[in-house]
């Protein structure tokens, strides 16, 4: 994922710090002085409003709901599974018997194995908190990602869909756009609030955890809302696990 202050995007070559979404956000969202060096702030104020403020994201949530019955039928009866859902059915069936942390780790590994694909669409402008928002992306649904892969925001959103399938609460999951102080680039991760910690699920199978890391949080979304994360804090090294 790449977020910039202009309407021009650059090409990316790797799935970890990837380019696929160009966002010109209101200053409060795009400032690179956003929070760094602490867990993702689930309980912090900064709520901007409903997810409908970002129409393309909201439309993706609508497509996801419309496509969900096909996977429901597949999970209920393997004979009703299209070929592209067979592996996903095995994954979700196996994951249902695991504890929560092992579910998180398994989903992280499964999604990160999928094909990286750069994603570009036309620029769209829409009001957000009284300011223009211009971005370029087509967010993928679960079915779309399984069939064709995606870029870094699609990796994060697919992890979101799958953990929701496994019973994780909406309020404990957010797709977060970050500024990486080491690579000096924007990146998307999934934040999961679990067992008293905040976990950041990465595209390289790392699960970042603990109170210190290198990210500054810019903005976040889930199916219910959008949050900004203005402020500043000195980044510190992260604790990492390769789960």
Residues 212, 214, 218, 223, CA torsion sign: negative
Angle at 171 between CA 98 and CA 40, to 5 degrees: 90
Please check whether residue 17 is in contact with residue 187, taking contact to mean a CB–CB distance below 8 angstroms.
yes
Q: Which residue has the tokens 């999961």?
A: 192
Please check whether residue 58 is in contact with residue 51, taking contact to mean a CB–CB distance below 8 angstroms.
yes
Give the pLDDT score at 178. Answer: 81
127's enclosing H/E stretch is strand 124-128
Longest Cα–Cα distance in the chain: 54
| Among 118, 98, 121, 120, residue whose Cα is nearest residue 108 | 98
Give the pLDDT score at 180. Answer: 76
Give the pLDDT score at 6. Answer: 33
Helices (H) and strands (E) in the chain, counts: 6, 11
Provide the residue-wise pLDDT of the chain in tens; the chain has 243 residues.
433 333 333 333 334 344 334 343 433 344 444 445 677 888 777 888 898 888 888 999 999 999 999 999 999 999 999 999 999 999 999 999 999 999 999 999 999 987 666 655 444 454 444 444 444 457 899 999 999 888 778 999 999 999 999 999 999 999 998 877 777 777 889 999 999 889 999 888 889 886 556 788 888 999 999 988 764 344 443 444 445
Give the pLDDT score at 119. Answer: 56
What is the rounded (10 degree) CA torsion for 144, 7, 46, 219? 40
Give the pLDDT score at 218. Answer: 84
What the chain holds in terms of domains, given with CATH numbers, is 27-115+155-242 (3.10.620)
Q: Which residue has the tokens 């994603």?
A: 119
Give the pLDDT score at 77. Answer: 97
pTM across the whole model: 0.78
Residues 191, 205, 36, 30, CA torsion sign: negative
Q: What is the DSSP string of 92-123?
A: HHHHTTS-HHHHHHHHHHHHHTSPB-------
Tokens for 31, please give them: 């400032």
Q: What is the DSSP string of 149-207?
A: -B-HHHHHHHHHHHHHHTT--GGGEEEEEEEETTTTEEEEEEEEEETTEEEEE-TTSEE
């Amino acid at each position: 994922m790449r977020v910039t202050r202009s309407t021009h995007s650059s090409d990316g070559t790797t799935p970890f710090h990837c380019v696929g979404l160009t966002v010109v956000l209101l200053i409060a969202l795009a400032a690179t002085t956003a929070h760094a060096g602490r867990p993702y702030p689930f309980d912090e104020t900064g709520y901007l409003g409903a997810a409908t403020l970002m129409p393309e994201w909201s439309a993706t949530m609508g497509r996801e709901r419309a496509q969900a019955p096909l996977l429901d039928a597949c999970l209920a009866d393997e004979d009703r599974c299209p070929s592209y859902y067979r592996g996903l059915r095995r994954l979700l069936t196996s994951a249902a018997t695991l504890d929560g942390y092992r579910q998180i780790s398994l989903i992280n590994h499964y999604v990160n194995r999928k094909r990286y694909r750069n994603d570009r669409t036309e620029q769209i402008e829409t009001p957000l908190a009284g300011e223009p928002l211009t971005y370029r992306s087509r967010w993928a649904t679960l079915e779309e990602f399984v069939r064709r892969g995606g870029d870094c925001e699609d990796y994060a959103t697919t992890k979101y869909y799958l953990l929701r399938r496994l019973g994780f609460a909406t309020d404990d999951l957010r797709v977060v756009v970050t500024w990486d102080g080491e690579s000096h680039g924007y990146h998307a991760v999934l934040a999961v609030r679990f067992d008293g910690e905040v976990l950041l699920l990465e595209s390289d199978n790392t699960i970042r955890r603990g109170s210190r890391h290198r990210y500054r949080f810019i903005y976040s979304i889930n199916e219910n809302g959008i949050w900004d994360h203005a402020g500043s804090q000195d980044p510190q090294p992260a604790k990492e696990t390769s789960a």
